[in-house]
Amino acid sequence: MKPNTLNFVAEVNYLGQFSNPNLVKLFGYCCEDEHRLLVYEYMASGSLEKHLFRRTGSTLTWSKRMKIALHAARGLAFLHGAERPIIYRDFKTSNILLDAVCRLLIC
């Protein structure tokens, strides 16, 4: 295996060990040649980006927005406080996913 592939597999295996109510569950991955695929649990309500910037027919109340901000902060605190901290460099609304009852998870 190439060094980049080994690094990818090592990182995915490390991330797969985490379990937190504010992180999307990682079910598996595929790594073939230069192609990489991560398989996460299905999030029925899509991304926070969709709810904030696109017309979806539903708006987020301030109460829901505050809950989302709190859960996002908890997810980041969990990652940053790990034994081997993970600095999440791609934190954006498209990577914050909501389940069917608008529970937030970071992917």
Q: What's the confidence (pLDDT) of residue 70?
A: 92
pLDDT tens sequence across 22-67:
888 888 888 888 888 888 888 888 889 988 887 766 678 899 889 9
> Catalytic residue at 99?
no
Q: Buried (b) or exposed (e) across 28-46, using 16+ Cβ within 10 A?
A: ebebeeeeeebeeeebebe
* CA–CA–CA angle 11, 15, 16 (5° rounding): 115
Q: Which domains does the chain have, with CATH numbers?
A: 3-106 (1.10.510.10)
The answer to whether the beta carbons of residues 23 and 106 sit under 8 Å apart is yes
Choice among 90, 92, 100, 101 that is catalytic: 90
* pTM summary value: 0.76
